[in-house]
Amino acid sequence: MILGFTVKPEMLVFGGTLLLVLMVLQVLQGMRKIKFKGPLHLKVHKWGAWVLLAAAVFHGFLGYVYALGLRIG
């Protein structure tokens, strides 16, 4: 439980699916299958990487809380 919200397995599955979609988009953009012109390509790719990192850290934290049955807040 985090601040009154119970972490459920469905939340973790949704988070994992979201991470998979973000990762596929990141790879497609890196391979230039999704195209942006000029310096915008690098900016979007870099911001996408930061979003992917933040989502992965949050997903890992929720999995940790769920696995150990922790109660925060």
Distances in whole angstroms, Cα of residue 29 to Cα of each of 8, 22, 35, 38:
32, 11, 7, 13
Amino acid code (one letter) for 62: L
pTM of the model: 0.79
DSSP per residue over 9-68, as a string? HHHHHHHHHHHHHHHHHHHHHHTTSS---THHHHHHHHHHHHHHHHHHHHHHHHHHHHHH
Statement: residue 72 has pLDDT above 90: no
Question: pLDDT by residue (tens digit) across 24-64?
Answer: 989 988 888 888 778 888 888 889 899 999 999 999 999 99
More confident call, 23 vs 40: 23
